[in-house]
Structure 1
Amino acid sequence: MKKIASSLLILFFALFSLSCSTDRDDELGPVSFLEIKNFIYDGMQLYYLYKPEVPELANDFFESREDRNDFLNSFDTPENFFYNGLVTPGDRFSFITDDYRELERSFAGISKTSGIEYGLSLDRNDPNFAFAWVRYVLPDTPASAAGVERGMLFNSVNGERLTTTANADGTYSLSAGSRELLNLDVFSIDLAEFDTNDDLQPTGASIDLTQVEYTENPVYIAKTLTINNRKIGYLMYNAYRRNFDVQLNNAFAQFKADGIEDLVLDLRYNGGGSVETAIDLTSMITGQFNGQVITKQRWNPEVQAVFEAGNPENLLDRFDNSISNKDAINSLNLTRLFVITTGSTASASELTIIGLKPYIEVKTIGTTTVGKFEASITLYDSDNFSRNDDSLNPRHFYAIQPLVYTYENSAGTVGPPTGIIPDFELRENLTNLGVLGDENEPLLSLALDQILGRSPSGKSRSGMKFEHFTAVENQSPDFQRMYIDNLPEALHNKR
């Protein structure tokens, strides 16, 4: 994230702070909810993308500090205040955490897991019940050691059926009891399979699993396929994680060495992550557009005005030629790209697609994406909302992750909130998921059909349709988040 000039930010704070600085106690002591809510309010009033839609965030809304505190105190918890007092009804992605350490671990790919990455679908005969299907298994985990494989189904844990809760909007969520079962340190999954009537039946087999702390490399598969004497790269990339940029760049070095002519980028389960990594990925795929604009940011009107008055260049993300550690990017100079997408593909994944479309041919295969074209930022309780500031409040671990900007690509296209509709539609078939990275896996096979100009095979185009309603990663703090890694240039005075 580029920097705003300090003088402009000082002016901005002077104009809009309303003298709302929070006095801080030099001695470590218990924190009050009011103190936390004041931090939340200050951060949202400055950075929130949808500030104009929230009357209470207007700079002149409160006549006095007492009036503001009365408003803050009308909400019993920081969470209630954030979601019901400040976040707009249409905002699906801003969130608050009471432990930013967990959030930071999640951004780094660190979690407690058995190694199963699964999706959840409703039982076709009774939506009060659910079943899980294994999407993939993380290497060197208890699940991989126990022989869990992609495509396995289970509808019970420790002998108890997975159940759902109906939401007010007509959708379903996994019940609290079932979530607890799946989060146990030690548990057993009871396998199931479809019978001849396409109903799910227990097999009588079970697999014992434990959960361990694990750091996931998002570069899940990187391989070169040789088909009809044509070299085609396949990359299954599952999250945009800045701390794995080297591994991503190394995968492209191998593609370059192999002399691939086309690339299939598999983002079917990629919920997003770092904007900076997304920019680097577009530069790895191309390379011939270094310095040209990928996206143009749009913040709330007040922040936008500061950027435009100071240096509009700060609003532009451009193709670059180095990753975060300054290593040179391994670029392929491709002129077309084939991307596999599903309803789990979001944020930075969608930025990759939208950002590249004005420059090269981009074709998508699969199902419609989430439709999340906004970026967020982590705000901490310090004078400049930064983590690395001496004023960071030591009495709590709350942080907020508000949406702060939306964007358009270089052609002025804004991503649709309903998601990117695939050029070639194919839903994953739970009775024939295939082997990831194998040229016969249905979605990869369909992508290869387009590359090779061959007629699609009908064998992978049918299958039962199940309502997929969630996945294991939605329990993660960074689920479907796209974020910038650094704040605009921080101030060292009280907010």
Structure 2
Amino acid sequence: MRILVLCLAFSLAACGGGGSSDSNDSGSVNICQRPDVNSQLYCAMQQDYLWYRDIPVGINPANYSSPSALLQAMAAPQDRYSFVLTRQEYDDRFINATFFGYGFSSVRVDNNTALQVAYVYDDGSAGQNGLRRGDKIIEIEGTSVTEWLSRLDAGSANSDDIYGPNEAGVVRNFVWRKPDGTQLTSDFIKAAVTTNTVLHRSVSTVSGKNVGYLVFNSFIELSETELQQAFAYFASQNVDELVLDLRYNGGGLIRVANQLSTQVAGNNVLGQAFVKYQFNDKNSGKNNTTLFSAGAGSTVLNLDRLFVLTTAASCSSSELVINSLLPFIDVVQIGSTTCGKPVGQQPDIIADYVLFAINFQTVNALDQGAYFDGLQPNCPVSDVITGDWGVANDPLYAQAISYLVNGSCSDVAVSSATIHSKVLKPQLAAPWVLNNEQ
């Protein structure tokens, strides 16, 4: 099975370690000589974990019921991001990019009386039946969303009751309201949904400039082709400026972040340092620098400026795009503070599991990094879903257009003191999921 690195394509390190920290209480058997998954995960953490010095002492791998439980016990206090998957889970999320569902993500709104759609996948039954970002679902299978959410919170109903079991062919009737008040209904059918990562692309004319708008939702393998197609389209439209929407993008593969960044800036960054990788002192020989590269045949725009839309759900590789471009072009960040993950994972394959423990940190060409509190926006604006992608009253998109026209943040943005995004921070096991993805 081919394993991709969430951030960097290194060869996978074997478990290592030794010394007193790798022996059990009796000292009779070295833990790293044991074949069980927990022992091998323990040793991989001792050798490769960026914060191995902060692992609590006295942990016995045999005392934990699962690799996930052991990892949770070993994680440093500052670690919000390490996780472990089965190989099948890894394939489903990062290679196949499919799940069983209707193909939309939503958040609770209007005092738990509706589910507002945040985004829709092209391949899902929901999108094919007309559901769009900004729509509000008010009824599912003859029961109001108000009732469903009340029962869900009370523990008298679960997700399967609402949406049906995780099986292909399950049908549920949905009723939803468009932003203009129009009410629609349709049967949605569960199927294996391919999660396209370019959710939207368009070009508009603003003050005599061709302005591209790209909504990008995750850095995974299929993103390479989708980005190549999007930038070829932008080039054909002679784009002068680009608004890159990463508001829900929880990250992924760093090589895809490199491709995206290079396609944006082109000749402004080619041959320069995209990112510098810094490992713990046991692995300092791995420290290295990767240069900007878009890949053979990729279209580049050679832009001098980039507008980036962010929320607290913008994480990891999304932040890397911003930080890596800052030394070379003007990056105008609009929205709210990002999640704060200037670190990454080089996975370890351990039996039928893939361990994604934090084992390196990243800095840009000027050695700038350590943004654990997140990257702060130039123009702070609260994220509110007002309609489909690119509508004029979307606060983040509107602020980018206003800045493009006027050359500065609007008074509304400047007066926004502390912003807390309505979108949840990404979850460890599925970084692109919002409040509810079906």
Hey, what does 2:80 align to over in structure 1? 92
Quick one: higher RCO (CA 8 Å, sep 6+), 1 or 2? 1
Q: What is the TM-score with the length of structure 2 in the denominator?
A: 0.79
Hey, what does 1:295 align to over in structure 2? 275
Q: CA deviation at 1:204?
A: 9.4
Hey, what does 1:187 align to over in structure 2? 172
In the alignment, which of 269, 286, 289 is matched to residue 316 of structure 1? Answer: 289
What whole-Å deviation, never above 9, does each CA across 1:318-376 have from its counterpart, x for those lacking one? 11252xxxx23322111111111112211100000011111111001112211122111
Hey, what does 1:215 align to over in structure 2? 194
1:372 to 1:132, Cα distance in 2 relative to 1, 3 A: farther
Question: Does residue 268 in structure 1 map to residue 247 in structure 2?
Answer: yes
Q: CA deviation at 1:13?
A: 6.6
What whole-Å deviation, never above 9, does each CA across 1:193-231 have from its counterpart, x for those lacking one? 99xxxxxxx999765423210112212222222223211
In the alignment, which of 373, 389, 395 is matched to residue 442 of structure 1? Answer: 395
Aligned runs of 1:150-165 on 2, under 5 Å?
150-154=133-137, 157-158=140-141, 159=143, 160-163=147-150
What whole-Å deviation, never above 9, does each CA across 1:76-117 have from its counterpart, x for those lacking one? 333322212x112321111122x3212222113222221212
Give 3-state SS (helix, strand or coil) of 1:443's partner.
Answer: helix
Give distance in 2, aligned partners of 1:293 and 1:341.
24
Aligned runs of 1:130-279 on 2, under 5 Å?
131-154=114-137, 157-158=140-141, 159=143, 160-163=147-150, 177-180=157-160, 181-182=162-163, 184=165, 185-189=170-174, 191=176, 207-279=186-258
In the alignment, which of 68, 73, 77 is matched to residue 79 of structure 1? Answer: 68
Give distance in 1, aligned partners of 2:100 and 2:116.
19
Give distance in 2, aligned partners of 1:407 and 1:425.
25
Q: CA deviation at 1:50?
A: 1.2
Give distance in 1, aligned partners of 2:311 and 2:410.
20
Q: Residues 17 and 44 of structure 2 are in contact (CA less than 8 Å); yes or no, is this contact kept in structure 1?
A: no
1:373 to 1:155, Cα distance in 2 relative to 1, 3 A: farther
Hey, what does 1:106 align to over in structure 2? 93
Q: Residues 117 and 136 of structure 1 are in contact (CA less than 8 Å); yes or no, is this contact kept in structure 2?
A: yes
Q: Residues 284 and 329 of structure 1 are in contact (CA less than 8 Å); yes or no, is this contact kept in structure 2?
A: yes
Give distance in 1, aligned partners of 2:237 and 2:61.
59
**What is the letter of the counterpart of residue 144 of structure 1?**
G
Q: Residues 103 and 477 of structure 1 are in contact (CA less than 8 Å); yes or no, is this contact kept in structure 2?
A: no
Hey, what does 1:43 align to over in structure 2? 44
Q: CA deviation at 1:44?
A: 1.4
Q: Residues 163 and 178 of structure 1 are in contact (CA less than 8 Å); yes or no, is this contact kept in structure 2?
A: no
Q: Considering only CA atoms, is the larger Rg found in Structure 1 or Structure 2?
A: 1
1:205 to 1:479, Cα distance in 2 relative to 1, 3 A: closer
Give 3-state SS (helix, strand or coil) of 1:302's partner.
Answer: coil
Give distance in 2, aligned partners of 1:292 and 1:205.
52
Give distance in 2, aligned partners of 1:207 and 1:407.
47
**What is the letter of the counterpart of residue 65 of structure 2?**
D
Q: Residues 103 and 478 of structure 1 are in contact (CA less than 8 Å); yes or no, is this contact kept in structure 2?
A: no
Q: Residues 106 and 476 of structure 1 are in contact (CA less than 8 Å); yes or no, is this contact kept in structure 2?
A: no
Hey, what does 1:468 align to over in structure 2? 422
1:336 to 1:114, Cα distance in 2 relative to 1, 3 A: same
Give 3-state SS (helix, strand or coil) of 1:286's partner.
Answer: helix
**What is the letter of the counterpart of residue 220 of structure 1?**
L
1:460 to 1:425, Cα distance in 2 relative to 1, 3 A: closer
Question: Does residue 423 in structure 1 map to residue 394 in structure 2?
Answer: no
Give distance in 2, aligned partners of 1:102 and 1:321.
29
Question: Does residue 364 in structure 1 map to residue 338 in structure 2?
Answer: no
Give 3-state SS (helix, strand or coil) of 2:312's partner.
Answer: coil
What whole-Å deviation, never above 9, does each CA across 1:431-469 have from its counterpart, x for those lacking one? xx1331345543222111111227988999999x99836
Segments of structure 2 that go 5 or more residues without pairing to the other structure are 1-7, 24-29, 434-438
In the alignment, which of 297, 302, 314 is matched to residue 328 of structure 1? Answer: 297
Give 3-state SS (helix, strand or coil) of 1:247's partner.
Answer: helix
**What is the letter of the counterpart of residue 236 of structure 1?**
V
**What is the letter of the counterpart of residue 305 of structure 2?**
R
CA RMSD of aligned residues (A): 3.8
Q: Residues 187 and 209 of structure 1 are in contact (CA less than 8 Å); yes or no, is this contact kept in structure 2?
A: yes
Q: What is the TM-score with the length of structure 1 in the denominator?
A: 0.71
**What is the letter of the counterpart of residue 226 of structure 2?**
Q
Q: Residues 311 and 337 of structure 2 are in contact (CA less than 8 Å); yes or no, is this contact kept in structure 1?
A: yes
Give 3-state SS (helix, strand or coil) of 1:144's partner.
Answer: helix
Give 3-state SS (helix, strand or coil) of 2:231's partner.
Answer: helix
Segments of structure 1 that go 5 or more residues without pairing to the other structure are 25-34, 62-67, 166-172, 195-201, 382-392, 481-495
1:13 to 1:119, Cα distance in 2 relative to 1, 3 A: same
Question: Does residue 116 in structure 1 map to residue 93 in structure 2?
Answer: no
Give distance in 1, aligned partners of 2:321 and 2:122.
26
